[in-house]
C-alpha cells in the first residue's frame, strides 16, 4: 500500500493503529523511529520523515522507539522475528549474558550475517547490543541491590572489575555515587603509629579507601565515621593483620624518607572527576611539587583550578594519594587537611629521597 506523506502524517496525528503495519516514521530531533500509533508526545512535522519499513528507518540512522516498539508490529517478517527472538533470548539469560558467538549459534548464522541482522534494524552490532544490555542491568541492579557487591552479582557481571570498568562511562559516575550514599559498604579499619602521628587506615575488600592522620584513637574513629556515615565500620580482622603490618611498614619507610612512594592497593571512592584528579596526583613524582594551576593544565582543564583544588582537598587517602605535592602558584604551601606541618614534613622527606637518589646516580 502506497500512502502519500500527508495521509501518513494524518495517521500519525490520529495515532492510527490501523496504519502500524503500513509504515514507520522517524523523528530527527530524537533519533528514533516509531509506529504511527506511538503514545509518545507528537513530534513537530518538520522533524518527521516517513519510511516504508523499519529497515529503511534504521538505514537512515534511526533507532527503534522503546515506547512503541515498532519492530514488534513487523513480526511476520521472518528476519525481524528472528531478531526479536534473539533479543528475548538475551533478556532471559541474565547470568551470564550470552556473547556474540552464543547469539550466532542460537540463530544459526555466521558472525557476518548476525552483524548485518542487528545493524539492519537496530543500527548497532550485536556486541553493542549486549553492552547496552549489560549497562542497563548494572543500572537496575545498583538501584535495587543492597550493596554494590550484590549489584555485581545481580547484574550477572561475575567480578567487580567488570562493573568498575564499565561504570564511569556508562553511568557518568562511580557505582557508589549512583547508589547514592555509602550504605552497604564494609570498611575495616586499624590504627598505627607513624613519625607524623597516629593514622587510621580503612580498607574495603578492594584496597585502601581511607588513610588519615589524627591525634588519638577516638578522634581518628570519629573522622572515619564522619567520612562514611552509612558504611559498616569494623575493626580489621586478625587474619588481615599481616597485610596491615605490611602496609604500615611500607608507609613508615616512606615517611622516614627511605623509599619514594609506597605502592599499596587503593580503592578510591569519589566522583569521576575527583578520581581523575587523584590518579593524576599519583603520577607526580615523589620529591616534585606542582601548583594547582599546573595540575589543572596537566589534566587538560586549565580553567578548572578551583575544582582541582577542591578535589585535592577532598582526598581521603593521605600520602598514598599525594595531594601534598600540590602547592600554591606563589610557592606558599596552600592548605592541607591534616595540617601544614605534616605537608611540609612530607615534601621535605620526599625531597631528601630525591636528592639522595640523584647523588647516588
Examine the residue annotation and report whether 34 is marked as an active-site residue of this protein.
yes
Nearest approach, Cβ of residue 34 and Zn ion (Å):
3
> Which of 34, 71, 268, 317 is close enough to bind Zn ion by CB under 5 A?
34
How many Å is the Cα radius of gyration of the chain? Answer: 28
CA 210 to CA 317: how far, in whole Å?
5
Told to check if 38 binds Zn ion by CB under 5 A, we report yes
Restricted to residues 68-97, the positions that interact with Zn ion (CB under 5 A) are: 68
Told to check if 8 binds Zn ion by CB under 5 A, we report no
Residue 192's φ and ψ, nearest 5 degrees, are: -135, 170
Among residues 34, 68, 209, 312, the one annotated as catalytic is 34
Q: Between 34 and 170, name the residue whose CB sits nearer to Zn ion.
A: 34
35 to 19, 32, 50, 78, 310: CA distances (angstroms): 8, 10, 10, 19, 49
Told to check if 22 binds Zn ion by CB under 5 A, we report no
Told to check if 65 binds Zn ion by CB under 5 A, we report yes
Told to check if 349 binds Zn ion by CB under 5 A, we report no
Closest CA to 347 of 288, 280, 264, 293: 288
Is the separation of the CB atoms in 49 and 28 below 8 Å?
yes
Residue 187's φ and ψ, nearest 5 degrees, are: -120, 125
Nearest approach, Cβ of residue 30 and Zn ion (Å):
9
In the three-class reduction of DSSP (H, G, I as helix; E, B as strand; rest coil), residue 210 is classed as strand
Q: Between 53 and 227, name the residue whose CB sits nearer to Zn ion.
A: 53
Told to check if 306 binds Zn ion by CB under 5 A, we report no
Q: Between 11 and 255, name the residue whose CB sits nearer to Zn ion.
A: 11
Quick one: cell of 331? 610557592
As beta bridge partners, residue 50 has 25
Q: Between 41 and 169, name the residue whose CB sits nearer to Zn ion.
A: 41
- Helix locations, 202-321, DSSP H: 217-227, 241-255, 272-283, 292-298, 305-313
Nearest approach, Cβ of residue 72 and Zn ion (Å):
11
Quick one: cell of 267? 580503592
Told to check if 43 binds Zn ion by CB under 5 A, we report no
Candidates 5-13, 65-73, 265-273, 320-328: pick the segment binding Zn ion (CB under 5 A): 65-73
Candidates 34-42, 48-56, 96-104, 112-120: pick the segment binding Zn ion (CB under 5 A): 34-42
Counting residues that bind Zn ion (by CB under 5 A) gives 6
Candidates 33-41, 136-144, 175-183, 281-289: pick the segment binding Zn ion (CB under 5 A): 33-41
Residue 24's φ and ψ, nearest 5 degrees, are: -125, 160
Among residues 68, 200, 312, 323, the one annotated as catalytic is 323
Told to check if 11 binds Zn ion by CB under 5 A, we report no
Q: Between 40 and 171, name the residue whose CB sits nearer to Zn ion.
A: 40
Quick one: cell of 221? 574513629
Is the separation of the CB atoms in 154 and 141 below 8 Å?
yes
The residue count for the chain: 361
Q: Between 63 and 93, name the residue whose CB sits nearer to Zn ion.
A: 63
Q: Between 65 and 104, name the residue whose CB sits nearer to Zn ion.
A: 65
221 to 26, 213, 218, 232, 350: CA distances (angstroms): 59, 11, 5, 13, 28
Told to check if 140 binds Zn ion by CB under 5 A, we report no
Restricted to residues 316-335, the positions that interact with Zn ion (CB under 5 A) are: none
In the three-class reduction of DSSP (H, G, I as helix; E, B as strand; rest coil), residue 284 is classed as coil
Told to check if 67 binds Zn ion by CB under 5 A, we report yes
Told to check if 266 binds Zn ion by CB under 5 A, we report no
Examine the residue annotation and report whether 38 is marked as an active-site residue of this protein.
no
Closest CA to 266 of 310, 307, 320: 320
Nearest approach, Cβ of residue 20 and Zn ion (Å):
11
Nearest approach, Cβ of residue 92 and Zn ion (Å):
24
Residues that bind Zn ion (CB under 5 A): 34, 38, 40, 65, 67-68
Instruction: Show which residues are catalytic.
Output: 34, 323
Amino acid at each position: 500500500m502506497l500512502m502519500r506523506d500527508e495521509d501518513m502524517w494524518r495517521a500519525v496525528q490520529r495515532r492510527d493503529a490501523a496504519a502500524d503495519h503500513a509504515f514507520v516514521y522517524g523523528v530527527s530531533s530524537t533519533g528514533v523511529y516509531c509506529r504511527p500509533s506511538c503514545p509518545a508526545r507528537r513530534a513537530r512535522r518538520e522533524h518527521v520523515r516517513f519510511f516504508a519499513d523499519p529497515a529503511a528507518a534504521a538505514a537512515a540512522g534511526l533507532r527503534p522507539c522503546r515506547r512503541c516498539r515498532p519492530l514488534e508490529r513487523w513480526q511476520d517478517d521472518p528476519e525481524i522475528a528472528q531478531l526479536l527472538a534473539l533479543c528475548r533470548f538475551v533478556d532471559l539469560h541474565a547470568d551470564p549474558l550470552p556473547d556474540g558467538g552464543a547469539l550466532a549459534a542460537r540463530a544459526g548464522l555466521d558472525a557476518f550475517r548476525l552483524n548485518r541482522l542487528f545493524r539492519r534494524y537496530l543500527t548497532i552490532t550485536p556486541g553493542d547490543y549486549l553492552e547496552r544490555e549489560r549497562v542497563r542491568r548494572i543500572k537496575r541492579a545498583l538501584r535495587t541491590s543492597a550493596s554494590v557487591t550484590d549489584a555485581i552479582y545481580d547484574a550477572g557481571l561475575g567480578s567487580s572489575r567488570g562493573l568498575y570498568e564499565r561504570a564511569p562511562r556508562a553511568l557518568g559516575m562511580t557505582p557508589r555515587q549512583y547508589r547514592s550514599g555509602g550504605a552497604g559498604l564494609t570498611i575495616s579499619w586499624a590504627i598505627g603509629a607513624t613519625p607524623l602521628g597516629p593514622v587510621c587506615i580503612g580498607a574495603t575488600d578492594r584496597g585502601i579507601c581511607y588513610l588519615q592522620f589524627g591525634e588519638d584513637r577516638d578522634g581518628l574513629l570519629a573522622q572515619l565515621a564522619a567520612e562514611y556515615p552509612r558504611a559498616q565500620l569494623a575493626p580489621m580482622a586478625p587474619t588481615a593483620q599481616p597485610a596491615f603490618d605490611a602496609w604500615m611498614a611500607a608507609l613508615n619507610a616512606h615517611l622516614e624518607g627511605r623509599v619514594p612512594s609506597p605502592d599499596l592497593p587503593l580503592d578510591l571512592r569519589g566522583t569521576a572527576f575527583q578520581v581523575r584528579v587523584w590518579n593524576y596526583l599519583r603520577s607526580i613524582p615523589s620529591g616534585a611539587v606542582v601548583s594547582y594551576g599546573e595540575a589543572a593544565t596537566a589534566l587538560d582543564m586549565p580553567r578548572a583550578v578551583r575544582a582541582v583544588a577542591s578535589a585535592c582537598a577532598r582526598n581521603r587517602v593521605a600520602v598514598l594519594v599525594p595531594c601534598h605535592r600540590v602547592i600554591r602558584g606563589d610557592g606558599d604551601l596552600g592548605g592541607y587537611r591534616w595540617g601544614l606541618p605534616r605537608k611540609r614534613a612530607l615534601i621535605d622527606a620526599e625531597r631528601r629521597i630525591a636528592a639522595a637518589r640523584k647523588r647516588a646516580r
